């Protein structure tokens, strides 16, 4: 897509300030786009790469929400990258948890590999978890440099503490 091309060019321009990079893979699912850039000298040591996409929007029918994943082995270390976009909305915690669980269970790579099959996993994106406080309370904490005050109200931290 045009958007994908523009993002790739923008990232490439920034990376070129730090040396030479090659775009190894692009995987897109509507608004979720995963770019993996590597240094050229690393390419001969990369093997066993694969991609996977999981739609979670509208019960898995659409790709407006979902995850894209890429796996590879560099030297002898297996690495998995997962980029996700989960359900939005202040009160949609259950939907976000279901999006996570669905991606975690459904991302599969060749030879029976899944997310847990890797030595290193980077999972990032727009998880859409919110802070269960008013906007004014959040701003007060931020402006007074009291970020720790927000932690007990952070939906993602709460879900993690409950075993999610």
55-79: pLDDT as tens digits = 886 665 555 789 999 999 999 999 9
Question: What pLDDT, on a 0 to 100 scale, did the predictor assign at position 115?
Answer: 97
Average confidence score pLDDT of the chain: 93
Per CATH, domain 2-128 is 1.25.40.10? no
Rounded-to-integer distance, Cα 30 and Cα 48, Å: 25
pLDDT at residue 113 above 90? yes
Prediction pTM value: 0.89
Domain borders along the chain are 2-128, 131-164
Per-residue pLDDT tens for 73-100?
A: 999 999 999 999 999 889 899 999 999 9
H helix runs in the chain, sequence order: 2-16, 93-106, 135-143, 155-161
Q: Give the rounded distance of the alpha carbon of 153 from its chain centre.
A: 22
Question: What pLDDT, on a 0 to 100 scale, did the predictor assign at position 133?
Answer: 96
Through-space distance between the first and last CA atoms of the chain, rounded to whole angstroms: 34
Question: What pLDDT, on a 0 to 100 scale, did the predictor assign at position 58?
Answer: 62
Question: What pLDDT, on a 0 to 100 scale, did the predictor assign at position 61?
Answer: 52
pLDDT at residue 161 above 70? yes
């Amino acid at each position: 897509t045009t958007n994908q091309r523009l993002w790739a060019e923008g990232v490439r321009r920034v990376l070129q300030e730090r040396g030479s990079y090659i775009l190894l893979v692009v995987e897109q699912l509507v608004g979720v786009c995963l770019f993996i850039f590597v240094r050229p000298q690393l390419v001969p040591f990369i093997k066993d790469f694969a991609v996977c996409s999981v739609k979670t929007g509208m019960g898995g029918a659409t790709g407006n929400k979902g995850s894209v994943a890429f796996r590879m082995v560099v030297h002898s270390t297996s690495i998995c990258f997962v980029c996700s976009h989960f359900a939005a909305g202040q009160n949609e915690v259950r939907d976000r948890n279901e999006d996570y669980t669905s991606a975690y269970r459904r991302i599969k790579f060749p030879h029976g590999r899944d997310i847990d099959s890797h030595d290193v996993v980077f999972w990032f994106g727009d998880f859409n978890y919110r802070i269960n406080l008013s906007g004014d309370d959040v701003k007060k904490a931020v402006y007074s440099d009291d970020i720790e005050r927000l932690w007990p109200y952070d939906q993602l931290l709460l879900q993690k503490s409950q075993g999610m």
